[in-house]
Amino acid sequence: MIVLEGRNLTKHFTSARGPRGRLGRRPPVRAVEDVSIALRAGSVSALVGESGCGKSTVARLLAQVYPATSGDLLLRGEPVRAHRGAAFRDYRRQVQLIFQDPFSSLNPFHRVRYHLARPLRIHGHARSDEQERTMVAELLERVSLTPVEQFMDKLPHELSGGQRQRVAIARALAVQPVALIADEPVSMLDVSIRLGVLRLLEELAKESGLALLYITHDIASARYFAEDITVMYAGRLIESGPSEALTQSPRHPYTRLLLESAPDPDRVTPPDATRHGEPPSLIAPPGGCRFHPRCTVALPVCSSEAPGRTELGEGRWTHCWQAETPDPVAR
Ligand SMILES: Nc1ncnc2c1ncn2[C@@H]1O[C@H](COP(=O)(O)OP(=O)(O)OP(=O)(O)O)[C@@H](O)[C@H]1O
């Protein structure tokens, strides 16, 4: 069941720097253009792309941290219209965000107990002190911070990075959301503990029926954890499909580049993500397909017209003029 859906989401920011145009206005940063994405109950989806491609902006649009320039949100199939008031607050409760840096999202002066009890109180889930204590303990157990008594009264700085991220996850769960958007949730954590936090998120999605969006620059981890992957480049979606199929036979040259650049223990020479150049500016993105200046198999049409969406069957699609060519790179 689709829990949360963004349809044709577009976000243009007013840029604070750069030259002004003829009317004295600065051109907008076209951070997100025409992004459609659907999250399913009990399922992990991944949104993958390089730094600056607009992933965090998509996360914030889905969580309604700020409004979209255009496009629609649907929660359980119902269009979301409230941008303030009780219905808006309820939406913000149901769609929770987990950030990259758990330290900055926890108040350094408050103990773990406070961080978890506060949302329980605000949303009326705990009606007595005793119920609150029980619920805080349950939340800590759900994120495997046990024995719970050891963690209740800790301050954020007394916890490891992984433990802090688990507290942030528990806090998000406290308000009983239907969707969780995890924006690079492990990229600031020690490599040795990343797997544990990702497994926890996966378990929570499966057991609690949460719809989980895992946002990452690391397509290798997305392949491992997510059922489906959507790839983003310079503000636009370029390819999507079931993780295994997409990573086994990528159809967009950019997805192929991402896979080639991903860490691979069997490869002798180190990968070079910038082999085909750098991502473009989002103030003046290239015309046509935004990837064409970096694409090794670009055709003349790629620089003049943006490719529409080609359905490839079995839940796969891509935006590429050569979508139907089996392997344009190998030609
Ligand atoms: N509030 C803002 N005002 C102006 N420009 C912004 C704002 N937020 C993001 N941008 C710009 O929008 C583009 C996309 O940023 P975003 O943070 O969504 O990318 P990202 O893929 O999440 O990158 P990273 O992984 O580095 O966070 C960038 O060019 C960024 O500078």
Mean pLDDT over residues 76-81, rounded? Answer: 94
Q: Is the residue at 302 inside a domain?
A: no
Residue 192 CB–ligand 1 contact under 6 Å: no
CB 93 within 8 A of CB 175: yes
Using the mean position of ligand 1's atoms as its centre, give its distance from the Cα of residue 57 in Å: 6
Nearest alpha carbon, ligand 1 atom 24: 51
User: How far apart, in Å, are the Cα atoms of 217 and each of 129, 145, 178, 253, 290?
Assistant: 42, 27, 24, 16, 18
pLDDT band at 124 (very low <50, low <70, confident <90, very high): confident
Q: What per-residue string of b and e applies to 26-42 under the rule 16 or more CB within 10 Å gives b?
A: eeebbbbbbbebbbbbb
How do residues 95-115 score in pLDDT, each as one tens digit? Answer: 999 999 877 889 999 999 999
Distance CA 225, CA 195 (A): 10
Mean pLDDT over residues 119-137, rounded? Answer: 90
| Conformation bin of residue 313: beta by default, left when phi > 0, alpha when psi is -120 to 50 | left
Residue 52 CB–ligand 1 contact under 6 Å: yes
Say yes or no to pLDDT of 182 above 70. Answer: yes
For residue 226, how many C-alpha atoms fall within 13 Å in the half-sphere facing its CB?
31
Element counts in the chain: helices (H) and strands (E): 12, 12
CB 226 within 8 A of CB 194: no
Mean pLDDT over residues 298-315, rounded? Answer: 95
CATH number of residue 179's parent domain: 3.40.50.300
CA proximity to 3, closest of 55, 64, 44: 44
Q: Is the residue at 142 inside a domain?
A: no
* Ligand 1 atom closest to Cα of residue 183: 22
Q: Is the residue at 132 inside a domain?
A: no
Q: Is the residue at 177 inside a domain?
A: yes
Q: Which of 32-36, 123-127, 262-266 has the lowest mean pLDDT?
A: 262-266
Backbone angles phi, psi at 189, to 5 degrees: -95, 155
Considering the chain, what percentage of its residues have pLDDT values greater than 70?
A: 92
pLDDT: which is higher, 233 or 283: 233
Backbone angles phi, psi at 309, to 5 degrees: -85, 125
Say yes or no to pLDDT of 79 above 60. Answer: yes
Say yes or no to pLDDT of 280 above 90. Answer: no
CB 46 within 8 A of CB 70: no
In terms of residues, how long is the chain?
Answer: 331
Residue 13 CB–ligand 1 contact under 6 Å: yes
Q: Is the residue at 314 inside a domain?
A: no
Say yes or no to pLDDT of 257 above 90. Answer: yes
Find the domain containing 25 and state its range: 2-109+155-286
The SS3 assignment for 137 reads helix
Residue 57 CB–ligand 1 contact under 6 Å: yes
pLDDT band at 325 (very low <50, low <70, confident <90, very high): confident
Distance CA 265, CA 125 (A): 47
Q: For the purposes of burial, counting CB atoms within 10 Å of the CB of 281, is it exposed (0-12), middle (13-18) or buried (19 or more)? A: middle
Mean pLDDT over residues 2-23, rounded? Answer: 85
| Conformation bin of residue 178: beta by default, left when phi > 0, alpha when psi is -120 to 50 | alpha
Q: Is the residue at 138 inside a domain?
A: no
Confidence at residue 327, expressed as pLDDT on a 0 to 100 scale: 63
**Tally of structural domains, the chain:** 1
CB 319 within 8 A of CB 237: yes
Residue 11 CB–ligand 1 contact under 6 Å: no
Q: Is the residue at 222 inside a domain?
A: yes
Q: Is the residue at 149 inside a domain?
A: no
Q: What is the ipTM of this complex?
A: 0.95
How do residues 130-169 score in pLDDT, each as one tens digit? Answer: 999 999 999 999 999 999 999 999 999 999 999 999 999 9
How do residues 198-213 score in pLDDT, each as one tens digit? Answer: 999 999 999 999 999 9
How do residues 283-298 score in pLDDT, each as one tens digit? Answer: 889 999 999 999 999 9
Confidence at residue 271, expressed as pLDDT on a 0 to 100 scale: 52
For residue 16, how many C-alpha atoms fall within 13 Å in the half-sphere facing its CB?
0
> How many Å separate Cα 240 from the centre of its chain?
14
